[in-house]
With several copies, the nearest count.
Chain A
Amino acid sequence: MITIITNKDLGTGTEASQRADGRAFDELRPLKIEAGVLKRADGSAYLELGGNKVLVAVYGPRELHIRRLMQPNRAVLRCRYNMAPFSVDDRKRPGPDRRSVEISKITSEALTPAVFLEKFPRSTIDVFIEILEAEGGTRCAGITAASVALADAGVPMRDLVVSCAAGKADGQVVLDLSEVEDKDGEADVPVAIMPRTGEVTLLQSDGNLTAEEFEKALNLAIEGCKKISKEQKNAIIKRYGD
């Protein structure tokens, strides 16, 4: 028999807040975005959100070698979401699992509406999202960083897609669930928007919510997206100037 002694510090909420890490219900975790961090990639970005560390590389537009994926009148946008083996508590076996296959698919759908794919027929734009450390909310972090990497690659876009989750934890609708809130909480609603129009390009809901709670969470996530959007722009300005 193996016994594990542990004293995992989950944090204690301050009096002002119900949240374990002391944040207000509509408060994001600390956020940092940097553009242009890799040499070989055509575009790249690094993002930290709380304990999440995400690196994104973009290659393309470039020739697509797989004929059956080729689109005669536009480029395809392919995304690969991948977790490093050491990014989580229990080592993740390398290679795609069902979760990463699904996230790759919806990430591609979340970014596609913003990109002028029709300018590059028969081509591919490849987005590689590497989760170096995961602490809840990596799919949103990956989408947010991917937009910056696409911009860094000079890919022409209608808008910078931005993503953030809201959810319900401890009975309260809150913004940007931490890992503990995601795991123990009641629901998680990841959202991505194109901020210029406010249109939604990613939407999932996992957990049980009344229609009212869902609407509240959706609104909160959209507000979160708008805050994050500013940091995306700052990262690009920091790299390229206004």
Chain B
Amino acid sequence: MVIIIPEIIKESVTNLMKNGERSDDRGFDDYREISLETGVIKKAEGSARVKIGNTQIMVGTKPQIGEPFSDTPNVGVLMTNSELIPMAAPDFEPGPPDERSVELARVTDRCMREAGVLDLEKLAIVEGEKVWMIFLDLHILDYDGNLMDAAVLGSMAAIMDTKIPETRVEGDEIIIDREKMIPLPIKEKALMCTFAKIGGELVVDPSLEEEQILDARISIGMREDGSICAMQKGGMKPLTKDEIIKAVSRTQKITKNLMEHLPHN
């Protein structure tokens, strides 16, 4: 669906930016209000409801026992799936995931995987035969801009919330003990920080209005130690090298604060 944003809105938002202001009065490095609850879906082994402003995502995890990939026989699997359900915006349509949905799931997945969030080797049960597969499902409920950062924040929280049954192998038998639920083996924490380029300025956490007029977008995934685990440029216009490098260093400060929203354990 083509969304027509009156030129006049674009102009006014851009002009504000040039004066260092945003239409909702935030600073360029400010997120909208963030709320994060975990353990909200009892049937899910892990869950989180994340809100950034009015953007709202429900994330749930389901563990399943499955076969490892043949090239990584003693490593568990994290599978990330995203559904831009038609509930969340007037232009989202039922059907198989479209390219925005696929990109969201894949960038989220890369961010978690490359950061080494999970110690996937600890999810092996019988080498080459059985491993835990953790399905991470992003259910987008309300789309008001910046799905990327909300998706990674919610995914990180849902993974930290997840408990799976203890398993042990006795002879030929795999015993799954649902009475002893244990947390996932977490090695690292990672979050994502997205900037919109509007009127030559980069501002963090774009609102829907800002997304609709942005020239370019850059999402940077970062671990607690400040290293970069994922990056994805979007949008129909270019970025300069300088803008990219500055975005990285701003991200290092911003994710420090963002980490505070994660459960402490």
Interface positions of A (Cβ within 8 A of B)? 1-7, 38-41, 51, 53, 55-57, 59, 62, 68, 70-72, 80, 82, 84-91, 94-96, 98-99, 101-102, 104-106, 109, 112-113, 126, 128, 130, 132-135, 187, 189, 193-194, 197-211, 214-215, 218-219, 222
Contacts and interface: CB of A to CB of B under 8 A. Distances in A.
A16 B228 CA distance: 30
B87 A38 contact: yes
Contacts of A6: 178-179
B265 interface: no
B41 interface: yes
Contacts of A210: 226-228
Interface in B81-137: 81, 83, 85-90, 94, 96-97, 99-100, 102-103, 105-106, 110, 114-116, 135, 137
B241 A218 contact: yes
Interface string B172-183: 111111110000
Contacts of A39: 54, 142, 144
Nearest to B54: A39
Interface string B231-247: 11111111111001100
A210 B252 CA distance: 11
Given A40-B90, A106-B103, 8 more contacts: A3-B176, A102-B103, A204-B232, A206-B110, A209-B228, A210-B226, A210-B228, A214-B248
Contact of A112 (B81, B103, B142, B236): B236
A85 B62 contact: yes
A132 B244 CA distance: 33
Contacts of A200: 233, 238-241, 244
Given A109-B234, A211-B248, A87 B99 contact: no
A240 B227 CA distance: 47
B187 to A, nearest CB: 12
B120 to A, nearest CB: 15
Given A5-B178, A194-B238, A200-B241, A208 B114 contact: yes
Given A1-B174, A6-B179, A208-B116, A55 B230 contact: no
B229 interface: yes
B137 A2 contact: no
A7 B54 contact: no
Secondary structure at the B interface, as helix, strand, loop or mixed, is mixed
A155 to B, nearest CB: 15
B249 interface: yes
B264 interface: no
Contact of B141 (A3, A55, A199): A55
Contact of A1 (B102, B141, B172, B228): B172
Contact of A86 (B65, B103, B137, B229): B137
Nearest to A222: B241
A206 B64 contact: no
A104 B99 contact: yes
A72 B3 CA distance: 11
